Amino acid sequence: MKLSRLIAVLISAGAIAGTVQAQETGTLKKIKETGTLKKIKETGTITLGVRDSSIPFSYLDDKQSYQGYSIDLCLKVVTAVQKQLGLSSLNVKMNPVTSATRIPLMANGTIDLECGSTTNNMERQKQVAFAPTTFVTANRILSKKSSHIKSLADLKGKPVVSTSGTSNLKQLTKLNAEENLGINILPAKDHAEAFLMVETGRAVAFVMDDILLASLAANSKAPADYEISKEALSVEPYGIMMRKDDAPFKAVVDKAISNVLTSGDINRIYHKWFLQPIPPKGVALNWPISDQLKAVIAKPTDSGEPSAYAVVPEAQKVVMKKKK
């Protein structure tokens, strides 16, 4: 995103404040400035919840600056909100969150948008709202190649880590009980700590979204030492999170994200973070856009149902068409 004017940058206790100018992203007319919109207009500030180690979505680089794919998308929303409210400037504060604190901090008004790697599912939709999906990943298993871990069954009786407050940890706990695997589940405070536990041998595997696992491995001391399972435990659609039951604000956010998706701007942003070298080590993830995300770009959705992201093979589409 091009910032037409950066007025101030404040770095204090891990928070960053900046100012951006409005761009032509389309304004929703006659929208009620209540809830979050009213709060932002009165304070002149919008607060983004950001992550320290969710590479390449939201993380701190070697200069202790927050950046990433989700942050770029959130800044598109910031521009749309500023334009909607008719503000000449809008202060942007970045507030660190973790998997465990992101929903409570959203609910109590500390953050206005969560710009990380948060799965949109039906359970979370009871507490918060989501913008149209911006990435689709899957829950998989990372381990050292020397451990010979290929599937969930190979984790039986072993110490396995996942990050606190994530749907991945909850799913692992459920599968462990249902299949009587006897896994010693270890919760980590964040993704970086979880990966370190595998790196140092305290856990044999890390169960998390495949793109996050790939990013952590690629930026590790010995990328070739790790592998990610082909077996997928679930489908995980990511979305920018906001407060529930705030229709005016959600309308602005949804329009901004839908514009990025349908205009083709998403291709530039995606290429920047997934196909080009990125900070801090200049590593390129070389992660091509998935068929699931292509389907979302063509038809934006904020659904939390995994079935909404199932892509029907072309051959099957032909058969279905013939049956009509």
pLDDT range class, residue 32, cuts 50, 70, 90: confident
Residue 56: asked if its preceding bond is cis (omega within 30°), the reply is yes
pLDDT at 317: 41
Instruction: Taking the CA atoms of 11, 14, 19 and 24 in sequence, report the sign of the dihedral they define.
Output: positive
pLDDT at 214: 95
d(CA 126, CA 157): 34
Mean pLDDT of 25-43: 81
Q: Is the Cβ–Cβ distance between 58 and 99 less than 8 Å?
A: no
CA distances from 243 to 152, 184, 304 (A): 35, 35, 16
Q: Is 51 exposed, middle or buried (0-12, 13-18, 19+ CB in 10 A)?
A: buried
Higher pLDDT, 237 or 317: 237
Radius of gyration of the chain (CA): 20
Q: What is the rounded average pLDDT for all residues in the chain?
A: 89
User: pLDDT at residue 314 above 60?
Assistant: no
Element (H, E) at 173: helix 167-178
In the chain the domains, ranked by start, together with CATH numbers, are 10-134+239-312 (3.40.190.10), 137-236 (3.40.190.10)
Q: Is the Cβ–Cβ distance between 292 and 136 less than 8 Å?
A: yes
pLDDT at 28: 62
Mean pLDDT of 303-323: 62
d(CA 163, CA 168): 8
pLDDT at 27: 56
- The Cβ of residue 18 has, within 10 Å, a number of other Cβ atoms equal to 18
Among residues 282, 306, 311, which one has the least CA distance to residue 295? 311
d(CA 319, CA 324): 9
pLDDT range class, residue 15, cuts 50, 70, 90: very low
The overall longest dimension of the chain from CA atoms, in Å, is 62
Higher pLDDT, 173 or 27: 173
d(CA 60, CA 96): 10
- The Cβ of residue 145 has, within 10 Å, a number of other Cβ atoms equal to 10
Indicate the pTM of the whole model.
0.83
pLDDT at 107: 95
Q: What percentage of the chain reaches a pLDDT higher than 90?
A: 84
Phi, psi of 132 (to 5 degrees): -55, 140
Per-residue pLDDT tens digits for 239-293: 999 999 999 999 999 999 999 999 999 999 999 999 999 999 999 999 999 999 9
